Amino acid sequence: MSATHDGARRHLENITGKLTPEEIALRLSTKHHASAARVPGATLTDPDVVEKRWALLPHAGDEAKANVADAVSLERHALFAHNIENFIGTVKVPVGLAGPMRVNGIAAQGDYYVPLATTEAALVASYHRGASVITLAGGCTTMILSEGVGRAPAYAFHSLLEAGNFVQWCVVNTEKIRETAEATTRFGKLKDVRFTIEGNHVYVLLEYTTGDASGQNMVTIATAAVCAFIAESCPVKPQYFFVEGNLSGDKKASSQSFQSVRGKKVAAEVRLPRKIVERHLHTTPEKMVDYWRMSALGGVLSGTIGVQGHYANGLAALFIACGQDAACVSEAAVGVTRFEVSGEGELYAAVTLPNLIVGTVGGGTGLPSQQACLKVLGLAGAGHARAFAEVCAALALAGELSIIAALSAGQFAGAHERLARGKKTDA
């Protein structure tokens, strides 16, 4: 990103203050003195090891230590051993309830109280309002449109001819590749193999279903086994290869989102009668559609991937509460929101999210607090991943309804000021 001459000058003056050029050079130079002590213990979580780690942090103080390494966290230390390295305790994030939110889905059925973990005032209130109007309207319809989690090993060859011969071999041996992958997992299934050739490079996108797990570790282990099989068996030897060539879309927004699926692709829709919009959202269907149309164009002008208001707010809060990989919000928050006014004057609202990497087993879902939040939803354990994904989509829909209502009614800033407990808000 370029900067004007004046802009660069003002920025440098702002960040360097009264430092001289010599002082700046000294601060930015490489330092070779002895480093501070390494953090001990790696995967060990025993309280005595935790104490050694805190001993490295005398500036933190006893109060900080007591808040993070509290008695309950230390008592349960063994539960965290497979989820964290260099353990020093736990962070407590406030959890609030949004709902009831009525979901009429293929997998999710019923009224859900949705646990949201956040430190952002107004967030739970906004999703709670959206969930409430959905329920007043009889609920939203949800459906899983597609499923699949990809991993994309990449291979470099001497020539385009070798790359083509490699792909031909893989096509002929697809069944052996499938058997190799599925031998590493009880629940994962390799459902598709796709190829992208770029010059003498080949990207092999292996797409799996992963049962009730979000599946990222599952597909990585399966793909590593496939790579080992190919390295041993394929007569066309690459110059080098990697287990992931950054084509899978893992933990990033990409235009590929709308061409396939990553995790679960889910849609949700609702029809809100005019009376509900006017009474409970304090606006009209027409104003909400006007705002949606303008915001959609604003998103296009800014280069946004997808058209949506704030999926990330609700998904991040739900992911943290329910033990999902929070970094997957970067891809899960890609999607499309659409509002229309029906011939009967109702508001039709729909969301489609193609990248919901979620699960109800594995990862952080078995930790005490996260398991408890899944139990609040009634979706803990095996057999509930699809329902959880539909709840995610319904929650995103609730959030879109509430934020667009607030913006179209001119209540957005006031709500944040009021719900931030009277504190002045930042920009």
Find the CATH number of the domain harbouring 313: 3.90.770.10
Choose among 354, 337, 351, 143: nearest CA to 258. 354
- Among candidate residues 242, 277, 310, the one where a domain is terminated: 242
192 is catalytic: no
pLDDT score of 416: 65
pTM to 2 decimals? 0.92
Tallying the residues shown for the chain, one arrives at 427
One-letter identity of residue 327 = A
Q: How far is CA 54 from the centre of its chain?
A: 31
Convert the pLDDT of each residue in 243-272 to its tens digit.
999 999 888 888 888 888 999 999 999 999
pLDDT at residue 3 tops 80 = no
My answer on whether 403 and 290 are in the same domain is yes
Asked if 150 and 203 count as a contact pair (C-beta separation under 8 A), the reply is no
Banded model confidence at residue 329, pLDDT cuts 50, 70, 90: very high
CA distance 320 to 363: 12
Tell me whether residue 27 is in a domain: no
Tell me whether residue 237 is in a domain: yes
- Please say whether the dihedral angle defined by the alpha carbons of residues 220, 225, 231 and 236, taken in this order, is positive or negative: negative
My answer on whether 305 and 399 are in the same domain is yes
Q: Which of the residues 77, 128, 384, 416 is marked catalytic?
A: 416
CATH (domain of 216):
3.30.70.420
For residues 334-347, average pLDDT:
96
Strand, helix or coil for residue 120? coil
One-letter identity of residue 94 = P
pLDDT score of 200: 97
My answer on whether 198 and 288 are in the same domain is no
The tally of domains found in the chain comes to 3
Q: What angle do CA 315, 316, 317 make, to 5 degrees?
A: 90
Asked if 154 and 199 count as a contact pair (C-beta separation under 8 A), the reply is no
Convert the pLDDT of each residue in 11-20 to its tens digit.
888 988 889 9
33 is catalytic: no
pLDDT score of 13: 85
pLDDT at residue 305 tops 60 = yes
B/e letters for 196-215, b = 16+ CB within 10 Å, e = fewer, are eeeebbbbbbbbbbbbbbbb
Tell me whether residue 345 is in a domain: yes
Q: How far is CA 45 from the centre of its chain?
A: 27
Tell me whether residue 251 is in a domain: no
Tokens for 161?
Answer: 């001819």
Tell me whether residue 29 is in a domain: no
For residues 326-350, average pLDDT:
96
Q: Which of the residues 192, 325, 340, 417 is marked catalytic?
A: 325
One-letter identity of residue 69 = A
My answer on whether 285 and 393 are in the same domain is yes
Asked if 282 and 401 count as a contact pair (C-beta separation under 8 A), the reply is no
My answer on whether 63 and 167 are in the same domain is no
My answer on whether 232 and 362 are in the same domain is no
My answer on whether 217 and 345 are in the same domain is no
My answer on whether 118 and 180 are in the same domain is no
Tell me whether residue 194 is in a domain: yes
Domain range for 73: 44-89
My answer on whether 310 and 324 are in the same domain is yes
For residues 158-172, average pLDDT:
98
Pairing of strands 95-105, 140-151: parallel
pLDDT score of 193: 96
Tell me whether residue 335 is in a domain: yes
Asked if 395 and 318 count as a contact pair (C-beta separation under 8 A), the reply is yes
Tell me whether residue 11 is in a domain: no
Q: Which of the residues 120, 182, 192, 286 is marked catalytic?
A: 120
| H/E element, 263 | strand 263-272
pLDDT score of 240: 97
My answer on whether 120 and 223 are in the same domain is no
For residues 175-189, average pLDDT:
96
pLDDT score of 425: 47
Phi, psi angle pair for 159, to nearest 5°: -150, 165
Q: Determine the angle formed by the axes of helices 174-182 and 160-172, rounding to 10 degrees.
A: 70
| H/E element, 11 | helix 5-16
416 is catalytic: yes
Asked if 309 and 106 count as a contact pair (C-beta separation under 8 A), the reply is no
My answer on whether 289 and 401 are in the same domain is yes
My answer on whether 236 and 293 are in the same domain is no
Write the CB contacts of 255 (distance below 8 Å, at least 6 apart in sequence): 305
| Cα-trace Rg, the chain | 25
